[in-house]
Amino acid sequence: MKLKEWIDDPKFSQKTIKAAMLLVTFTVALIYIVFHLEQAGSFLSTLFSLFSPFLLGIAVAFVLNVLLKLFEDRIFGFLKRKNSKIWRKCGRGICVLFSFIAVFLILGGIIFFVVPELANSIQILTAAIPSYVVTFTNWLNEVLTKFDLDQLKETVMQIDWTSFLTQASQVTTDLVGSVATATMGVASGVLTFVMSLIFAVYMLFSKEKLIKNLKRVLYAFLPPKRAQKVISVGSLASNIFSGFVTGQVTEALILGCLCYLGMSIIRLPYALLISVIVSLTSLIPILGAYLGGAIGAFILLIIDPLYCLWFLIFLVILQQVEGNLIYPRVVGTSIGLPGIWVLLAILVCGNLWGIPGILMGVPLFSVVYTLLRTATRDFLQKKGITDLQVEKNCLAAPADASLDTEEP
């Protein structure tokens, strides 16, 4: 059959041609990217820098939208329900203003009250490391001698604890320095920051209009079912991300405050430093609080093993309160992701994008998991397969077509 006859064949539909062209284009683009990774990375970096004010504005608007909903629905909800003339004219502007004020007050409080104390604690801890090492080494030597663990004693005593802790403190200092450098970088990019705030304010004021226009574009260039599917996926992603951000940040703040309060009551040293570490690491689901607790326990172990013991007892109690009272009520089922998927999200996205990947990987995987679960349920319903049949594995196997053919 000639090529023209093959193309004119009714079975060879226009959709097949489009699909083949898209596949070929995607393959060629993928091959080019693989063999020109440096150029592709440079292009993406340039593209990101060009659109960085807009992307940063979207991120700021997304976070502020959580506060905006709080002011509109909870604090000023009585005016919104009355739909008064004042609310229609000034309601959105007042709520946006209060949202920005709340964010600046929180950031200002952290910068002027928490950061100086945190830096002072790090400086004191770094300066006191040699004396803590001597105390810890003597205590460890007494314990190993008491229990007649000479071989283990020789191994432990060969460790240069001073060098190890000095390197650890240097890592902490470098981290603080990198944060300061990033802060200076943000300060130097004042124009980008101001433009992002302008974009954020515009998007918050006109979010209903922007969403409406986006829906119009989707329905104009996509089939109705496809456009509706894209809109539902976008709505699902928005709900999951906003629920995750709100829940995790609230839980981290509550956990950090409870940790600081408890450590202050039982008079443990470096309460603010350890509480901030626990609060920041608790932004990572499942593993975060344990990681922060391990760091805090190690710091207190070097100072005094008894402090470490009291801290571990307190941490177990705090984890019980967090797991049974705080997390179910604050975060709840906003993520709806099994534990194994959470670990997979942390590992995969953490390796790809570092700390931002660890934080954003969980809601991203939650969206994928929800879509996969919904698609699986729909396909099973179309095939008439119930969950009970799947669990009992009592599906009728289709007859083998090869058995129906008779040998000549």
Q: In this model, does residue 303 exceed pLDDT 90?
A: no
**Confidence at residue 408, expressed as pLDDT on a 0 to 100 scale:** 40
Q: How far is CA 268 from CA 21, 319, 320, in A?
A: 67, 18, 20
pLDDT of residue 263: 92
Predicted confidence (pLDDT) per residue in 156-177, tens digit: 555 555 565 555 555 555 555 5
**Rg for the chain (alpha carbons), in Å?**
29
The whole model's pTM is what? 0.66
- Quick one: pLDDT at residue 406? 42
Q: How far apart are CA 279 and CA 249, in angstroms?
A: 9
Residue written as tokens 């200076």? Answer: 184
Spatial neighbors of 179 by CB under 8 A, at least 6 apart, are: none
Decide: 319 and 289 in contact? Cβ < 8 Å: yes
Which two structure tokens, joined as six digits, stand for 130?
Answer: 């040699």
At residue 401, the pLDDT reads 43
- Is it the case that residue 41 has pLDDT exceeding 70? no
More confident residue, 278 or 286: 278
The three-class DSSP label of residue 146 is helix
Q: Is the pLDDT of residue 262 over 80?
A: yes
Report which of 113, 116, 94 is spatially closest to residue 105, judged by C-alpha positions: 113
Q: pLDDT at position 203, please? A: 85
Mean pLDDT of 189-213: 82
Instruction: Classify residue 95 by its DSSP letter.
Output: H
- pLDDT band per the 50, 70, 90 thresholds, residue 332: low
Q: What is the DSSP string of 67-78?
A: HHHIIIIIISHH
Tokens representing 247 are 């829940």
Phi then psi for residue 274, to 5 deg, are -70, -35
Are residues 240 and 370 in contact, defined by beta-carbon separation less than 8 angstroms? yes
Across 155-159, 177-181, 329-333, 360-364, which has the greatest mean pLDDT? 360-364
**C-alpha–C-alpha distance, residues 168 and 37, integer Å:** 35
Query: Residue 21 — pLDDT band, cuts 50, 70, 90?
Result: confident
241: number of CA atoms within 13 Å, CB side?
16
Centroid of chain to Cα 336: 14
Q: What is the pLDDT of residues 42-88, one digit of tens each?
A: 776 677 777 777 877 888 888 888 888 888 888 877 777 777 777 77
Specify the higher pLDDT residue, 329 or 367: 367
Q: What is the pLDDT of residue 128?
A: 73
Nearest to 249 by CA among 211, 214, 293, 280: 280
**Among the ranges given (97-111, 130-144, 158-172, 229-243), the one the predictor scored with the smallest mean pLDDT:** 158-172
pLDDT above 70 covers a percentage of the chain that reads: 73
Q: How far apart are the first and last CA of the chain?
A: 31
Which of the two residues, 362 and 187, has the higher pLDDT score? 362
The pLDDT mean for the chain works out to: 75
Q: Is the pLDDT of residue 217 over 80?
A: yes
Which pLDDT score, from 0 to 100, does residue 197 have? 82
Residue appearing with tokens 């240097």: 170
| Residue 68 CB coordination number (10 Å) | 20
